[in-house]
Structure 1
Amino acid sequence: MNSIDFEGTKVAYRVDGSGPGLVLVHGTGADSESNWGHLVEYLSPHWTVVRPDYSGSGGTVDKGEPLTAAMLAGQVVAAARASGAVPFDLVGFSLGAAVAAFIAAEYPELVRSVVLLAGFVSGDDTRQRMQFELWRDLSRSDRKSMARLVLLTGYSPGFVSSLDDKAIEQNLQAIVDTNDWDGMARQLELDLTIDISDQARRIAKPVLVIGCTHDHMVSSAHARRLASLIPGAQYAEMATGHLAPFEQPAQFIALVSDFLRTSAA
Structure 2
Amino acid sequence: MTNEHPTAAPLASVMDVRVHGTGPALLLAHGAGGGIEGNFGLVLDDLASDHTLIGPHYPGAGNTPAAATPLDLDELADAVVESAVSRGHERFVVMGESLGSAVAVRAATRHPERVRALVLTAGFPVADPALALAARLVTTLGKAGEWDAVARFACLSCLTDRDLAEMPEEALEAAVAATRASLPAGMVDHFALLPEIDVRGDLAGISVPVLVLAPTGDRLVLPDSSRRLARGIPGATLVEIPGGAHVLNEADRAVWLKHVRGLLGGL
Name the counterpart of 2:135. 132
Please state how far the C-alpha of 1:96 moved relative to its aligned partner: 0.3
Over the aligned positions, Cα root-mean-square deviation in angstroms equals 1.8
1:222 alignment partner, SS class: helix
Name the counterpart of 2:105. 101
Name the counterpart of 2:148. 144
> Residue 203 in 1 paired to residue 227 in 2?
no
TM-score normalised by L of structure 1: 0.91
Please state how far the C-alpha of 1:140 moved relative to its aligned partner: 3.1
CA contact (8 A) 1:117 1:211 kept: yes
- The code of the aligned residue for 2:129 comes to T
Question: Which structure 2 residues correspond to residues 7-26 of structure 1 after superposition, within 5 A?
Answer: 9-26=13-30
Name the counterpart of 2:59. 55
2:245 alignment partner, SS class: coil
Name the counterpart of 2:6. none
Please state how far the C-alpha of 1:247 moved relative to its aligned partner: 5.9
CA contact (8 A) 1:159 1:247 kept: no
Question: Which structure 2 residues correspond to residues 1-265 of structure 1 after superposition, within 5 A?
Answer: 6=10, 9-61=13-65, 63-123=67-127, 125-141=128-144, 142-181=146-185, 183-239=186-242, 240-244=244-248, 248-262=252-266, 264=267
| Alignment deviations for residues 246-265 of structure 1 (CA, whole Å, 9 cap, x no partner) | 56221121121111212x1x
Shift of the 247–201 alpha-carbon distance from structure 1 to 2, 3 Å rule, reads same
TM-score normalised by L of structure 2: 0.90
Please state how far the C-alpha of 1:161 moved relative to its aligned partner: 2.6
Higher percent of residues as helix: 1
1:218 alignment partner, SS class: coil
| Alignment deviations for residues 26-72 of structure 1 (CA, whole Å, 9 cap, x no partner) | 00001122222332111100110111102231111255111111011
Shift of the 32–131 alpha-carbon distance from structure 1 to 2, 3 Å rule, reads same
| Alignment deviations for residues 66-86 of structure 1 (CA, whole Å, 9 cap, x no partner) | 111101101101111122233
- The code of the aligned residue for 1:232 comes to G
- The code of the aligned residue for 1:45 comes to S
Tell which deviates more after alignment, 228-237 or 31-40: 31-40
Please state how far the C-alpha of 1:128 moved relative to its aligned partner: 2.1
- Which ranges of structure 2 fall in alignment gaps of 5 or more residues? 1-8
Please state how far the C-alpha of 1:6 moved relative to its aligned partner: 3.8
Please state how far the C-alpha of 1:138 moved relative to its aligned partner: 2.2
Q: Distance in 2 between matches of 1:83 and 1:220?
A: 35
Q: Distance in 1 between matches of 2:133 and 2:169?
A: 29
* Count of equivalent residues: 257
CA contact (8 A) 2:218 2:245 kept: yes
Q: Distance in 1 between matches of 2:249 and 2:86?
A: 26
Q: Distance in 2 between matches of 1:223 and 1:152?
A: 20
Please state how far the C-alpha of 1:99 moved relative to its aligned partner: 0.3
- Which ranges of structure 1 fall in alignment gaps of 5 or more residues? none
CA contact (8 A) 1:245 1:252 kept: no
Shift of the 180–79 alpha-carbon distance from structure 1 to 2, 3 Å rule, reads same
CA contact (8 A) 2:18 2:54 kept: yes
CA contact (8 A) 2:12 2:79 kept: no
CA contact (8 A) 2:18 2:55 kept: yes
Shift of the 247–27 alpha-carbon distance from structure 1 to 2, 3 Å rule, reads farther
| Alignment deviations for residues 113-145 of structure 1 (CA, whole Å, 9 cap, x no partner) | 11100001113x322221111111222332112
Please state how far the C-alpha of 1:8 moved relative to its aligned partner: 7.5
- The code of the aligned residue for 1:260 comes to L
Name the counterpart of 2:5. none
